[in-house]
Amino acid sequence: MKIIIHGGFFSESDQSHDVKVAKQNSLKQIAQDSFEFLKTHSAEETVVHAVKLLEDDLLYNAGMGSQIQSDGKIRMSASLMNGETQKFSGVINIENVKNPIEVAQVLMKEDDRVLGGNGAKQYAAENGFADFSTEIPQRRKEYEEKLKNGGKGTVGCVALDQKGRLAAATSTGGKGFELVGRISDSATVAGNFANGYCAVSCTGVGEDIVSNATAAKIVTRVTDGFPLKNAVEKTFVELKEINGFAGAVAIDKNGNIAHQDSYPTMVFASFDGEHFEIFD
């Protein structure tokens, strides 16, 4: 059993040492909590649990920490993929729900498993999700002053459970001030992908991740026999060719873990029940 989570990027120039320490402590706690959850739950259930905790933490750009778009509204995207069943579900640009990843989880039972905009919100309401504004005063102030809060980013989790099953989940509040209708990578297989061989979750600039098909490429290469480390490295070499900005966390079926970013520093933490690895 292993778990690795990420919470976007940290910038020394934009954020203080105190924020860095807060993110390290937060990620360590969430990774440990989620590993305990993994002991009695499946990989799919665990990645949802971990991402929900990340969505509830104001340090990250998802759920409660989501950015405001150019028209003054918050729209969020999230997705879930079960490596065993090969099912993918997600919501795109959903408004007024507390935890988009939970809506994605409920969609797993549907034939139509990726919903966007008003349809996603209507589905959430019909399935018991309360109307909830994730806007906090800090975000409104940033929007009104036309400021971006640097160093934030998409959150995600990949997990390997005790039965050898893999899963990936990813959630984002967007990049802030984007054009209305913009779709990120987080609810696509470029940003979140898993099968029986590997699971990957990405963060960074969605357009770059989609152009590079980052998560799907890594998983496909591992499936075709690449060692995980090599699959990640080759994919990031190709990302560099388009000057792409991204980070990824991954686990393969043998419990190998990988993490890489194209520009420092992606914030992440992994835990296997004994050893932590946390971004520095």
**Span 77-135, pLDDT tens digits:** 999 999 999 999 999 999 999 999 999 999 999 999 999 999 999 999 999 999 998 87
Mean pLDDT to the nearest integer, 72-81 = 96
List, as residue ranges, the binding site for substrate: 182-185, 203-206
The dihedrals phi and psi of 169, each to the nearest 5 degrees, come to -140, 145
Q: Measure the CA–CA gap between 59 and 121, rounded to whole angstroms.
A: 25
Mean pLDDT to the nearest integer, 198-224 = 97
CA 18-21-22 angle, to 5 degrees, is: 85
Please report which confidence band the pLDDT of residue 152 belongs to, taking 50, 70 and 90 as the band edges: low
Burial of 247 (0-12, 13-18, 19+ CB in 10 A): buried
Q: Measure the CA–CA gap between 181 and 199, rounded to whole angstroms.
A: 28
2-278 to CATH, choices 3.60.20.30, 3.40.605.10, 1.10.275.10, 3.20.20.60: 3.60.20.30
Mean pLDDT to the nearest integer, 195-214 = 97
> For residue 137, is pLDDT > 90?
no
> For residue 69, is pLDDT > 60?
yes
State how far Cα 43 lies from the chain centre: 15
Q: Could you say which of 46, 85, 134, 154 is catalytic?
A: 154
Contacts of 97 (CB under 8 A, 6+ apart): 76, 103, 121, 124, 129, 130, 131, 132, 134
Please report which confidence band the pLDDT of residue 148 belongs to, taking 50, 70 and 90 as the band edges: very low
Residues 176 and 170: beta-carbon distance below 8 Å? no
Question: 9-23, 134-148, 165-179 — which is least confidently predicted?
Answer: 134-148
The pLDDT of residue 151:
44
Question: 13-27, 107-121, 255-269 — which is least confidently predicted?
Answer: 13-27
- Interval 224-259: pLDDT, tens: 999 999 999 999 999 999 999 999 999 999 999 999
Q: What percent of the chain has pLDDT over 90?
A: 85
Mean pLDDT to the nearest integer, 21-43 = 97
Mean pLDDT for the chain?
94
Is residue 154 annotated as a catalytic residue, yes or no?
yes
The pLDDT of residue 111:
98
The pLDDT of residue 195:
98
Q: Hey, CA dihedral for 160, 23, 152, 90, is it positive or negative?
A: positive
The pLDDT of residue 145:
64
The pLDDT of residue 149:
45
